[in-house]
Structure 1
């Protein structure tokens, strides 16, 4: 009706105020004969008469198609219910004639009533109710089909009237206790919409004296309380919730420098570690979308990493849902890992890290350990893949060209100024770029390097206020410019291979057979 006639013309025929009386009240507005609102019987009769069409059949066909678009499927009419409605609808018939006499209902009364009775007899499921109200909550766009059913402003107007009038003369109590736009029907169904988030469908036929489902009201009250859904609830929101997103696991890896065999093992198993990024304030709807993403994890997945770096406030209900998700995932053999710079306890387990890099590194380390590749085991320079398949004697000569640097946990790695280092090799321990301070902090940690990793001077060009430091006791081997000259002289093939394959490109350069 809003789409066909516009808001002002509809309001000229139907009010938008709570009636304070039952759904079948015969009271009309003095002077205009308008019914109080479109959510009671009198208002619904007039509203259905405002749908455009050449005749009653065409008007009803448009109504049925519109309801089907809201539900996302083709709907049908229960003819037995329609026959009963028409045969026993004397009070509605009396209302219609009163409004026709007052001028708010125009046209043939029996034809208008036939359209109204038939649209009251459309069959829907509880799922349909939820989808229809999710369409209203989504600004008029059906979340399943993606079809825009009504304009966003019309959905907004309908939700506003639902909030004040949708539960008949119990609308005030409903808004006080449940606090969500809703529409009740005497079939025992209630449809609920939380704008911008979701729709709910509830069905239970026994009604109270006001014509509302007793158990559906109780269920919605519990849902609103448990999940903090009341529209008037102050959340201290820092902004509108943004949709979460799952990152493509194909190219996604931590910035940990690793030896060639470990990189290859991780590249061959991109679906074992999945990352899901949450954004904005974390509320019920965002957490529920995260549960759906977890449900759709591939069978090979073993770690589900949640990145909370872009999350502002975490509602208690969202934290509860995430904890429950962690438990469910463990039963499926999947570990949920949290990355949160704010260190807000969510799962209360050891699977919470200060940043996404550390979280993914931890998952990678566990995966490599499961594959028999211990990421923390020392890798002597002579066992590295830096110089191809050098023989034992050549490997020892290569090793003699390197210096040795032992570092304690927390010690800064200072490149020597007198003799520049062209290559750093981590034999044991772990290095990382960290912010200045006694301990590494998430804000400055851009990469880390464990045993078997090689670094070039470019890796040491940290940003202002940062440094390269040992995160644990470490041993590094260093190749200076003078050492490189000795290497060229002693093992030319090894030096040539090293210079052809700079370490910052080691991820993509293939090693020639027999090198």
Structure 2
């Protein structure tokens, strides 16, 4: 069976964006640790002793099935003692924890992995991660009606890896020839009543499970199956139940790295299992697995480069179990195209038509919580995914609580890769200085509000796909959205009653609580409509441009202005003053009535659009 591929890998083959920032980081780790020359391959059998010590690979597989790899990740090697964790899981799955515990304990031994020792009194092995316990685990796995024990064990490993794994005849023969110490353990277990009957077949099956060939990538997916509570994240098949996985990971935490387990948990802080074939598997439950491969071993029987790589990843990416307690909810709060929740800017008919056609070319990705490694990986993956089909990505960071130091370079690299592929990434952040953390050309666009960011993207789409009529810099009052609802003669009659006024950028035009000050028709510039919450926070409601109007809502709210209107840029407007409107009702009540109908129609249409936008945005946030 071929290696299963992820969507990330399939898309990477297109070469559109290149490798993920996570992959680039792993490549850097492999390159920086490649010159570590300590240790030597295991001499226990020729197949291990002859292993190329230069081979070195590192893989991260997430609990939802995304794989990142660097180095020698597709070279096969024998599973060796890493098999112990999965055979123990299969024994638990078959017989239950009570029956298995009756045959072996779960206490750290402090001994070497092949120590000939059993607990005084009970005769039980100290734990299933030393050879004595592993042989007992193998014996506990029963044959089925269809398969022998060793086939069931190999099949369980294959289901965790997502592909059919094979036993190496060469390695198996060598394990058999060099297996006297393990035979001694088998007969010792039989003499203590832990193994009932002749241990020969259990020993041969143990040799076989150690001889299963895997790649570093296989190991990572086997670990990701444990991280995903026993379900393979690529195939969706449940291999073990969550209770079994919980017990296995607990034993791996205290016993998986033999007599170096305590130091490992202090420095790396992940349940792990090593093998003398050069592999290491480490699991962060619910999030990811790390697998490494390098044949040179230290005095504990653990891969020298593998241990260093795991320490490096744990420290760089805050993977230590004591640093990841705040993972409580999905990092991606919502992801949606801007046509489903457009900006607060009122557009003319030409602009609305363009945005209706091209609105899916821009996507908002809302993030939340903490951007630790898993959150950063999910965020980067989501941004890259949506950028395959969209030219603009708005990343909203306002609900993010903590951004780890390593997250910023990864996000910046992702943004540069997308920019090189013709994509534009902009950010919504409460801190206006956020963009300084991103290096590259052009400078990162950072906006204080989602509305401002989407307006910028909409303007870019209109400039790219529309004509000058979509984004006019100046609109005559008779062509304004409000007056265009009237007969041209009525519009001209009202135009002559207006007076021109101007405001500088940043100047308040109307304040909340102010009496009705007339209907303002914007000729040039942009106007922001905002209000303050009970806590004093300013919330932007809408951005108005040339051809739009404001101030008229006070006519229906007790002649009081409920929102504040401020000039975003220099603004010029034509104003129908309250006095002029009063005179109009006396002098030409028919025209006054028609103006009121236009105002009512305009207000109802605005309210309807805002309700629709609010409903879409609320539903998008629940995705």
Give the TM interval when normalised to the shorter protein. 0.7 to 0.9
- Match in the other structure for 1:88: 178
- Match in the other structure for 1:184: 274
Cα deviations by residue, 1:478-510 (Å, 9 ceiling, x for unpaired): 567658868885699x8699479535426999x
> Is 1:240–2:328 an aligned residue pair?
yes
Stretch of structure 1 that moved more, 480-489 or 321-330? 480-489
- Match in the other structure for 1:384: 480
Paired residue total: 502
Q: Distance in 2 between matches of 1:418 and 1:175?
A: 68
Deviation at 1:180, TM superposition (A): 1.6
- Match in the other structure for 1:448: 543
Q: Which has the higher contact order (CA 8 A, sep 6+)?
A: 2
Q: Distance in 1 between matches of 2:589 and 2:208?
A: 92
Alignment of 1:257-406 (within 5 A): 257-299=346-388, 301-341=390-430, 345=434, 347-348=437-438, 349-371=443-465, 372-373=467-468, 375=471, 377-384=473-480, 386=482, 396-400=492-496, 402=498, 404-406=500-502
RMSD value, Cα:
3.6
> Is 1:144–2:199 an aligned residue pair?
no
Q: Distance in 2 between matches of 1:415 and 1:218?
A: 62
Deviation at 1:183, TM superposition (A): 0.9
**Gaps in structure 1 of 5+ consecutive residues:** 510-515
Stretch of structure 1 that moved more, 406-415 or 287-296? 406-415
**Gaps in structure 2 of 5+ consecutive residues:** 1-90, 610-623
Q: 1:297 to 1:461 in 2, by over 3 A?
A: farther
Stretch of structure 1 that moved more, 381-390 or 289-298? 381-390
- Match in the other structure for 1:427: 523
Q: Distance in 1 between matches of 2:146 and 2:596?
A: 88
- Match in the other structure for 2:17: none
Deviation at 1:327, TM superposition (A): 2.2
Stretch of structure 1 that moved more, 197-206 or 45-54? 45-54
- Match in the other structure for 1:252: 341
Q: 1:500 to 1:460 in 2, by over 3 A?
A: closer
Which of the residues 167, 179, 185 maps onto 2:257?
A: 167
Alignment of 1:14-163 (within 5 A): 14-54=104-144, 57-163=147-253
Q: Distance in 1 between matches of 2:312 and 2:513?
A: 67
Q: Distance in 2 between matches of 1:79 and 1:487?
A: 102
Decide whether the 8 Å contact of 1:272 with 1:300 is kept in 2. yes
Decide whether the 8 Å contact of 2:104 with 2:128 is kept in 1. yes
Structure 1 length normalisation: TM-score? 0.85
- Match in the other structure for 1:203: 293
Decide whether the 8 Å contact of 1:190 with 1:202 is kept in 2. yes
Decide whether the 8 Å contact of 1:240 with 1:281 is kept in 2. no
Deviation at 1:190, TM superposition (A): 1.0
Which of the residues 470, 475, 479 maps onto 2:567?
A: 470
Decide whether the 8 Å contact of 2:516 with 2:561 is kept in 1. no
1:293 partner SS: helix
Q: Distance in 2 between matches of 1:62 and 1:477?
A: 83
Q: Distance in 1 between matches of 2:265 and 2:472?
A: 59
Decide whether the 8 Å contact of 1:238 with 1:312 is kept in 2. no
- Match in the other structure for 1:512: none
Q: 1:77 to 1:461 in 2, by over 3 A?
A: farther
2:322 partner SS: coil
Q: Distance in 1 between matches of 2:240 and 2:425?
A: 40
> Is 1:413–2:510 an aligned residue pair?
yes
Q: 1:65 to 1:442 in 2, by over 3 A?
A: farther
1:192 partner SS: strand
Structure 2 length normalisation: TM-score? 0.71
Q: Distance in 2 between matches of 1:442 and 1:225?
A: 38
Deviation at 1:398, TM superposition (A): 4.7
Q: Distance in 1 between matches of 2:206 and 2:575?
A: 86
- Match in the other structure for 2:314: 224
